[in-house]
Amino acid sequence: MDELPPAPVVAGTSLDGTKLFTITAEENAALCRSTGVEPAIDGSAHPIYYYVATQVAMGKSVAGICETCEFDVDDGPMMGSSGVRFAAPLMVGESYKVTGEILSLVRKLSRKLGVMDVLTYRLRLHPAAGGDAVLETDNVWVLPRKELAA
């Protein structure tokens, strides 16, 4: 590992969004049905919007995050894990905004993938009107560094 060049220093990079994400009834229904269920009748949105809303409304695209990590998105970032803590359910018709940041980028040597960078970033979803976050999510991506392969 000592001879590997260090991973880019990106921890702390802001992922705060500038646009709002609104969960519309139409899209929630389409999303639910695409997964084989009907939308809830209590006004709550499908909980997978934790991922959808934060990805769409964060301050960088997936390609943009990869670029920050000096990684070409065409080289195939892979999802490693995703965790979420909800403080409240997500609601249809509500608008939300995103705050967040990159937590770490750690270079590792994998027997399966060779050299890779493990990216961890945290996003929070807030009501557009303000107030505490309704959820916090940590996502881990694996960025295979083909150019550093032995």
Partner 1 sequence: MSYAVGDALPPFVVTSASPAAMRDWSVFLADPNPIHLDVDVVKAKGLGDKRINQGPMNVAFMMNMLLAAFPGARIEAMDSRFLDNVYEGDHLTASGTVTAVDGNHLTCEFQLDVAGRGTVNSGTAILII
| Among the listed residues 1, 3, 6, 35, the single contact to partner 1 using CB under 8 A | 35
| Among the listed residues 8, 11, 22, 55, the single contact to partner 1 using CB under 8 A | 55
Considering only residues 57 through 86, tell me which ones interact with partner 1, judged by CB under 8 A: 61-62, 73, 76, 78-86
Q: Does 27 bind partner 1 (CB under 8 A)?
A: yes
Q: How many CA atoms lie within 13 A of 86 on its CB side?
A: 12
Q: Which residues pair with 117 in a beta bridge?
A: 107, 143
| Among the listed residues 5, 6, 18, 34, the single contact to partner 1 using CB under 8 A | 34
* Residue 102: CB minimum distance to partner 1, A: 19
Residue type present at position 46: H
Closest CB to partner 1 among 44 and 120? 44
**Sequential DSSP letters for 80-126:** EEEEEEESS--BTT-EEEEEEEEEEEEEEEETTTEEEEEEEEEEEEE
CA-to-CA distance for 97 and 19, rounded, in angstroms?
7
* Residue 138: CB minimum distance to partner 1, A: 9
The answer to whether 129 touches 22, Cβ cutoff 8 Å, is no
Residues that bind partner 1 (CB under 8 A): 27, 30-31, 34-37, 44, 46-48, 51-52, 55-56, 61-62, 73, 76, 78-86, 89
